[in-house]
């Protein structure tokens, strides 16, 4: 066997936990600093210790609250993305007809649908500034959005 290639063996190496020597073992180092050993490990002592600086319930409630916030934001986005919530400017009927509808109190496609349900085509044609071409574009838009 070659000489000087193996580490030095210490038959009585000290195992130190929290500044206290708890046992001695054979090792290649003279002292070992450890945090847990069989005398303090929950498996060997039968005691169960949970180190929980922040309560599990608090963490769960925070996650639940965040999930509810995300869900409410998604619902708001879905409502805002519905065709009935779109402004009348999204239809693309021209500035004159759009301003005439806004002056008549029709701001969204939902308002436009309500006016059509109340009085039909004549209810829109009676608004000054809304003509046949604007009515045709409105109907095309409503069919494309499957609202009519």
Looking at the structure, do residues 63 and 111 belong to the same domain, yes or no? no
* 5 domain-assigned: no
Looking at the structure, do residues 119 and 139 belong to the same domain, yes or no? yes
Confidence at 49, pLDDT banded by 50, 70, 90: low
Looking at the structure, do residues 96 and 140 belong to the same domain, yes or no? yes
* 61 domain-assigned: yes
Domains: count for the chain: 3
Residues in the chain, overall count: 148
Are 40 and 17 within 8 A, CB to CB? yes
Q: What is the pLDDT of residue 14?
A: 94
pLDDT of 36 strictly over 60: yes
In the numeric block, the tokens 């095309």 are attached to: 140
Gap between the Cα atoms of 3 and 13, Å rounded: 23
- Look up residue 146 and give its two tokens: 């499957």
Looking at the structure, do residues 96 and 134 belong to the same domain, yes or no? yes
Range of the domain at 34: 10-45
Looking at the structure, do residues 90 and 136 belong to the same domain, yes or no? yes
pTM of the model: 0.45
């Amino acid at each position: 066997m070659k000489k000087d290639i193996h580490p030095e063996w210490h038959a009585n190496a000290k195992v130190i936990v929290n500044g206290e020597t708890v046992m001695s073992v054979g090792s290649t180092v003279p002292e070992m600093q450890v945090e847990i050993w069989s005398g303090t490990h929950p498996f060997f002592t039968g005691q169960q210790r949970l180190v929980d600086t922040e309560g599990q319930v608090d963490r769960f409630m925070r996650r639940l609250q965040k999930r509810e916030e995300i869900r409410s934001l998604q619902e708001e986005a879905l409502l805002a993305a519905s065709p009935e919530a779109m402004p009348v400017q999204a239809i693309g009927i021209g500035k004159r007809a759009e301003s005439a509808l806004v002056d008549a109190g029709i701001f969204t496609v939902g308002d436009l649908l309500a006016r059509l349900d109340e009085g039909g085509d004549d209810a829109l044609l009676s608004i000054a500034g809304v003509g046949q071409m604007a009515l045709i574009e409105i109907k095309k838009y409503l069919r494309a959005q499957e609202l009519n």
